[in-house]
Structure formats: structure tokens, C-alpha cells
Structure 1
Amino acid sequence: MDITMNYYSSILIFGVILFGSVIFKLLGRLWWNPMKIQRLMRAQGVQGPSYNFIHGNTKEMYSKRIKAMAKPMQLSHRILPRVLPHILSWLNQYGRNYVQWFGAEAHLVITEPELIKEVLNNQHKSFPKAKLQGHIHKIFGNGLATAEGQKWVNSRKLAHFAFHGDNLKNMIPSMVQCAETMVEEWAHHEDKEIDVFKHFKVYTLDVISHTAFGSSYEQGRNVFQMLQRLCELSITNRYKVRLPVISKILKSKDDIEGQSLEKKMKDCFVEIIKAREEKLNNDEANDYGNDFLGLLVKAKNDPQDSQRISLEDVVDECKTFYFAGHETTNVLLAWTMFLLALHKEWQEKARNEVFDVFGHSNPTFEALPKLKTVIINYNNKT
């Protein structure tokens, strides 16, 4: 009887100690550490909204965003009040540099050009890339956007080679073909309004699918649909704070869906990669292909261990390229069309220049640099 009582007493004491340890660590992470950082920053003259237990400033960020989105947007380049209203508000209140809180994580916001330049140059490697979490990590993984060190060097080398001048030249026929399909669709909407943003989304998707995945572009489009859904989940959960440990045990409906999408995407990529490898192994092709995926598969099977990348690396690079390349290009095209609609004199200049350079023929790689109004020379841009 005494042995049994001692046993249960020991278990109870151990449980109390373990529970107390967890609570102590949580309090340290969710209260003591944030308050310490806040005192240190304010002692250096860096102000900001006060830290609130667990959620930080996310509730204020969310409420300011909802309030801004509820108002009609004026036709202006001044979009900061709409897309990041909390930053504009706190810049006006606390100065050009301030600290805000995403949960218990401190974010130092800087707007002074010299400080921004120092961070971007990062000569002393003092500013590592942010560690992506949640649904946004499922989108980018550990690809070029988040990689550092030698992994980043290898990823950058592959991307640079994939989009070298000669390779870009070979992509132009696919780009033209996809554009012709889109324009033919527009012809059926003469004298009607067209949502160009939606059309450009399809166009850029088709271009990336063809140029990155070659004959597997239909599967590439399926991957994109899953990436789009992950993006929606990321936006929906943007201001939701994840508690350490607890969030790994108690998963929300969105978390479960995100995990499922991530697995489906990987399975789809694995299927595409294996198809490329089997074609070469069965002598149905001379190489893995010159598109982006082909270069990645070649690197995966590189005979030198130091140059070889893993299957996970191939999947992450494809996801990064697919999402980042599509989203940025789609938005840029839509915004350009919007500006041309506002400034019709530039619309006329651009149209006349295209006809002067190409006539009624399709664009060519050699003639593209002659367009001074339509595009900016890449060297000047960088």
C-alpha cells in the first residue's frame, strides 16, 4: 500500500514539476521576454505600440486593415493606407523607425534609406532571412526565397542558368502562343468589360506552366491551383497568433487542409520528376530537358555529391518559382494596364512603338531591346 502511494505521489510530483516548467517557459516567451525587449528598445529611443499578452498588436493590425478595406480606393499610387494601414498609422505616431509585435515576436520597422541600405547589403551577415511559418512556409518551403549560405548560392546558380538569355529566347514562342490564346478570348468580349486581372492570371499561369514544366504543364496547373488555395489560407490566417507547443497539438481546420495540400503538391511534383527520369532511363529522351524543371532534375541526379540537391529541394524550388513568378508578373501586368487606361497618351505611344518595331508580326527576342517606351532595359532596371 505504501509502495503504491509513493508511486502515485512521485507521478503527481513529476506532473506538477513538468506542468510548472511548461508554464514558466510559456510565461518567459509570452510575457517576460517581450517586456524586456520593449524596455530595451524604448531605452534606445525606439518607440512603438505597447505589447499585449499573447496576441501582441495583431488585433490592432487586423482592425485597421478591415477598416481600410471597407472604404473605396481612390485612383492613386498611394496604396500604403490601404494595404498596410497599421504601418502608416504607427509611422505617423512613433516616427520613421518603430517596434511592432506579431504575437510575442518583435518586428523592427525601418523606413530610413540608410538603414534599409545597410540591412539589404548585410555585409557582416547580421541580418538573416526571416523564418517563414504556417501556410506561407508551405508555399515557399526552403527554396531560393528563404535559403541562405551555400544552399542559396546553388539555388541562385540554377535560377540564373534557367533564365539566361538563350533560354529566355527559347521561351518566347510559348509566351506568344499563350498571349494569342488570351487575345482570341478577348475578341469575343468586344464592347464589353473584361476583368484583365483574371485573364492575366490565366495567361501567366499558362506561360509558367509551359516554360517551367514543358509537356507536364497540365500537372503544373494542378499544382498552381493548390498553391492558390494555400495563399488564400495564408491570407485568412495572416493575423492569427500560433501558441508554441499548443498549435502543434491542436490543429485548426485550415491547418489540416494546408497539410493535405502540401502533401498533394509534393506527390504531384514527385510524379512529374519521376516521369522525366524514366524518359531518360528508357532512352526516350537525350537529357532531362532545358526548362527549369529539367535543370532541377539534372541537379538532383548530379554525379558530384557537393552539387547534388535533394528531392525536397526540387519541390521547394518549383513552388517558389511557380508562386513568386506568377503572382508578381500577374500583378505587374494588371497594374500596367490600369495605368495605361488612366493615361491614354502613353497608351498611344506604346501602341505606336510596338507597330513601328514589330509591325503586325510577333515579338522577337532580338527586337525587344528596341522598345524604349514599353519596357525598361534590364541593366538600367537592376
Structure 2
Amino acid sequence: MDDLEATASLPPWTLIQGLLSLLVAFLTYLAAERWYLRPWRLSRVLREQGIWGTSYQFPAGDLKQSGQLNAEAWSKPMALCHDIIPRVIPHVHNTIKEHGNICFTWLGPVPKVIIGDAVPVRDILSNKLGHIMKFTSKRSGELLAFGIANHDGEKWAKHRRILNPAFHLDHLKRMLPAFYTCCTDLVDRWESKLASSDGSYEVDIWPEFRNQTGDVISRTAFGSNIVEGRRIFQLQAEQAQRLIKSFQYMYIPGSLYLPTKNNRRMDEINKEIEGIIRGLIMKREREMGNGEPSGNDMLGLLMQSNMDSGKGSMRMSTEDIIDECKLFYFAGTDATAVLLTWTLVLLCMHPEWQNVAREEVLSVFGRDKPNFDGVSRLKKVTMILYEVLRLYPPQVTLTRRVSKDIQIGGITYPEGVILELPIILIHHNTELWGEDAREFKPERFAEGISKANKDRPAYFPFGWAARICIGQNFALLQAKMALSMILQRFEFQLSPSYSHAPYTVITLHPQHGAQIILKKRL
């Protein structure tokens, strides 16, 4: 009783001081747990299983060192060869070289386990046991593209089910006229430049293909609404550049929410993109409500499939449809432009294969317009594209997050660690592909993907298993159409101004462009 009376008689400021002390102690514990205790526990679990890596550096982990290595590697071009890993992912390359095929680095206070072994990568991508989730920044996804590629579980399954009909082969066939129109615009423009030249014309194909694939996406996504489609492409290109700029320096969690000039502009861009897509969706809904057909463009096919899927929770919301359109725009434009750019660069570096591809295209189409049946018969061209995707995959690495302790390949990965799956390392692995793994040899795919190497899951430029990229056939069909029309009309070689400098900007870009010299085919 006396104690209670004494407590009651304490001045208010004394109670406040006590509460503040408890709050400070609690926050101190949370900080120690996040930045010291948990990193120590996780690294101990990994080291006890024979997995070694870098030492944790408070607070950013290996971000600073990784940035320095990137800056050093990207400061100068490389030799004209395909041993590009030391330049493209220098920190991952150095860590694996020092600590083995399974090792770890640090993303802030979280260990990031690098897995350079094809078998566990297959199991992780298959995710048969569950508990492996996509690892993405929610804010950056919202600003750029946050569709099916970033979902898990039931939401992913629902989106995949609704999206599948839009990417069915029959619908892709109907998109060939759009592919042809955009390719014709490109090659006609190049021919007009050649006509006014001395017989050769130098062009940087990287921006050319970005614009061309953006035009394809605009036509196939929104049909006749080509003006709105092109505006979305322009805005997303700016958004990607601004997002990259925001990560040039040490990333601070939550920094994308700060009211900086760059962040405010990214918010403006995102609102304009979503406003355009929302307006197109509402217009299409009104047309469908009046009994008009949904249309054969991607938006119409998606909305019809969504309507046919049922009611309520069986459907995607308008916000979900907007996100899927944003993802289709960004991924479809960037991945195909990357594939076409590196394909022409490699055909310049290996003119014997340029001749092989041209002979096949001419034997199938002559000078005629490429069609679906003919494109499907282009075996040598397909082999070339597969080999380009092996050596220069658009996305060089994938990341996942472990949501619950899970055992893969005899190793227990604790909850919370990040798994990095370096596609390009496995694609260049000499144990899987032979001593010529870093050489351009399309003939390795003569009998298809399954017989191209010693271990089938060693090839996954579009992912693996159920989560394989839904747009892979779209990208390959578009690439074959464009490549066929270019080979029909032109011969090409690398320009003396070309610098071989692949580097990662979300996907694998040519740092200084891709300058080639075009000549009219004799």
C-alpha cells in the first residue's frame, strides 16, 4: 500500500522519464536485433553448413564495395569476346571465385546467398516445397511495373490463369501484322538512309530497337490507341532512368518515399501512366457494356478473360489490370530490344552465322513477307537466338526470399535470407556447357534446348517451371520477324566506333550503344 502511494506521489515528469527510458531501451534492442544480432545468427547458421562469404559491414553490407567494383568494371570497354561476367557482375564473380559456387554477400544486414549450381537453382525456381517468395522493392515495383512477375501464391495463380489466354498461340498469330508493320517502318527508314549515302550507313541499333519494340507493344497492347501507347512507352523509359538514378548511391530503406525532386517527378510519371491506362480500360468497359467486341489487342483479350473468369475475388481488380499493362509494356519492350541488339552484335562478330541465318531466311521467304508458318520453320535462326540468350540473357540474375526455414540440396536456408540465382554464371559454366561455354556456338542447340548441355536446368533465360515468363513466345516471335526482315534486306558489320561494354541496368544493356554499319544486300 505504501509503495502504491509512493508511486502515485511521483511527479509526472518522473513517470515520463521512466517511460522514455523504456522506449529508448526497446528501440535500442530492436536496432541491435536488426543490425547486429540477427545478421550474426544468420551468418552463423550458414557458416556451420560450410557456406562462406564476405564479412558483414554495418550498415550497408556489401553495397558500397559492389558499387565500387561496378564503377571500376564499367569505366572502360572490354575485349571483343563473350567472357563478360567479370564486367557485368564483378562482385558476384569475385565472391564465387573466392568462396565457391554457393557463398554469400550482404544486402544491408541481410545475407544474400549466391547459388551458382544449376540443380538447386532448378529446385528454387520450381518452389515445390513453398516458402520461397519473390524479392522486390514494393515501392520501385509500384513506380515501374508490379504485375504477375512480382506476385506469389494464390494471387500469382489467379493472375496467371487470367493472363494465359491473352498469350495463347492463336492470339499471338493475330499480332503478326502489328509486328510486320513496325518492322517495315524500321527497315524502310534504314533503306532510305542508305539510298542517300555512299553505300553504307552507320546506325546505333540500341535506341532503334527500343523504339521499334515500344511501337510493337503500343500496337499490340492497345490496338488503335497508338498515341496513348507511345506516350506510355516514353514515360516508362524516363521512369526507368530515374529509378536507376535513385539507386546510384547507397540505398536507404524508404528513400523512394521522400519528397525529393526525383521522387516527385517519378510520382507524376506514375500517375500519368496509370491515368492513361485507366482511361483506356474505362473506355473499353463502356464499349463491351454496349455489346461491342473486346478486341484482339492485349488489353481487350485480358479484359475478356477477366470477365470470363467469374465474379468477385475470381477476377482481377482494375488496379491489377493497370499493373499488368505496365509490366507488359516495360518487360516486353526491354527484353525484346535487348535480345535483338545483342543478336545483331553477335552476328557482326560471327559473320559466318550471319550468312547461315540469311540463307535460311531467303530459302523460306525469299523476298516475300514473313508469315507465321515460315517463322516457325526457322531452325537456324532459332538456334542463334537461343545461343544469344545463353551468352547475353536479358536478366542476368534472379532474386528470391526465404519466408520459412527450408532445406534444398542438403542445405538449410534460414528464414529471411535472400537467394541470388545468377543466370549468366550458370549459362557460362564450363562444367555444364563444355570448355567452349564462353564461345558463340549456336550448333549446340541443333537438337533443341533439352539436349544442349549436360544438365537440363542449366538454361533459363525466361525463368523455369511454372513461373517461366508468360511472354517468352511473344518476344521470340517478334525477334524472329524483325531479324528475318533485316536479313532479307541488309548485310551488316560492327562499326569502328563500337565499344563492347555490356552492363546491367535492370537488364543487360550495351553501355555505349551498339553501332553497326549497314550495307544493301547484293
TM-score, normalised to structure 1, is 0.90
Alignment of 1:342-361 (within 5 A): 342-361=349-368
Count of aligned residue pairs for this structure pair = 376
From 251, 276, 280, the equivalent of 1:272 is 280
Other-structure match for 1:130: 135
Residues 128, 40 of structure 1: CA spacing in aligned structure 2 closer, same or farther, 3 A cutoff?
A: same
| Partner amino acid, structure 2, of 1:158 | I
Segments ≥4 residues shifted beyond 6 Å: none
SS in 1 for 2:371: coil
Shift of 1:46: 1.0
d(CA) in 2 for partners of 1:74, 1:67: 15
From 63, 77, 81, the equivalent of 1:76 is 81
SS in 2 for 1:218: helix
1:55·1:241 contact (CA, 8 Å) conserved in 2?
Answer: yes
1:335 aligns with 2:342: yes
Other-structure match for 2:191: 187
Residues 155, 250 of structure 1: CA spacing in aligned structure 2 closer, same or farther, 3 A cutoff?
A: closer
Alignment of 1:287-302 (within 5 A): 287-301=293-307
d(CA) in 2 for partners of 1:51, 1:239: 21
1:23 aligns with 2:31: no
d(CA) in 1 for partners of 2:180, 2:364: 16
Shift of 1:240: 4.7
Other-structure match for 1:61: 66
| Partner amino acid, structure 2, of 1:68 | A
1:96·1:111 contact (CA, 8 Å) conserved in 2?
Answer: yes
Larger strand proportion, structure 1 or 2? Answer: 2
1:321 aligns with 2:328: yes
Residues 9, 247 of structure 1: CA spacing in aligned structure 2 closer, same or farther, 3 A cutoff?
A: farther
1:170 aligns with 2:174: yes
Alignment of 1:184-333 (within 5 A): 184-190=188-194, 191-238=200-247, 240-243=249-252, 247=255, 250-281=258-289, 283=290, 286-301=292-307, 303-333=310-340
SS in 2 for 1:128: strand
1:293·1:318 contact (CA, 8 Å) conserved in 2?
Answer: yes
Question: What's the C-alpha RMSD, in Å, of the aligned pairs?
Answer: 2.6
SS in 1 for 2:358: helix
Residues 112, 15 of structure 1: CA spacing in aligned structure 2 closer, same or farther, 3 A cutoff?
A: same
Shift of 1:156: 2.0
1:226·1:261 contact (CA, 8 Å) conserved in 2?
Answer: yes
SS in 2 for 1:193: strand
1:58·1:102 contact (CA, 8 Å) conserved in 2?
Answer: yes
d(CA) in 1 for partners of 2:11, 2:83: 70
d(CA) in 2 for partners of 1:161, 1:299: 7
Alignment of 1:76-155 (within 5 A): 76-141=81-146, 143-155=147-159
1:353·1:373 contact (CA, 8 Å) conserved in 2?
Answer: yes
d(CA) in 2 for partners of 1:261, 1:80: 34
1:179·1:203 contact (CA, 8 Å) conserved in 2?
Answer: yes
d(CA) in 2 for partners of 1:352, 1:310: 49
Shift of 1:9: 4.4
Residues 137, 105 of structure 1: CA spacing in aligned structure 2 closer, same or farther, 3 A cutoff?
A: farther
d(CA) in 2 for partners of 1:260, 1:17: 42
Residues 360, 213 of structure 1: CA spacing in aligned structure 2 closer, same or farther, 3 A cutoff?
A: same
Gaps of 5+ in 1: none
d(CA) in 1 for partners of 2:266, 2:22: 35
Shift of 1:87: 0.6
1:135·1:233 contact (CA, 8 Å) conserved in 2?
Answer: no
What do residues 104-148 of structure 1 show as CA deviations (whole Å, max 9, x unaligned)?
22211011122212212221113222243442453222x110112
SS in 2 for 1:106: strand
Shift of 1:48: 0.8
2:174·2:296 contact (CA, 8 Å) conserved in 1?
Answer: no
| Partner amino acid, structure 2, of 1:178 | C
TM-score, normalised to structure 2, is 0.67
What do residues 202-255 of structure 1 show as CA deviations (whole Å, max 9, x unaligned)?
1111111101111123212222222222322332333655545x6487454433
d(CA) in 2 for partners of 1:11, 1:272: 56
d(CA) in 2 for partners of 1:34, 1:305: 43
1:300·1:314 contact (CA, 8 Å) conserved in 2?
Answer: no
1:48·1:100 contact (CA, 8 Å) conserved in 2?
Answer: yes
Aligned-pair identity in percent equals: 33
Shift of 1:24: 2.5
Residues 87, 239 of structure 1: CA spacing in aligned structure 2 closer, same or farther, 3 A cutoff?
A: farther
Higher relative contact order (CA 8 A, sep 6+): 2
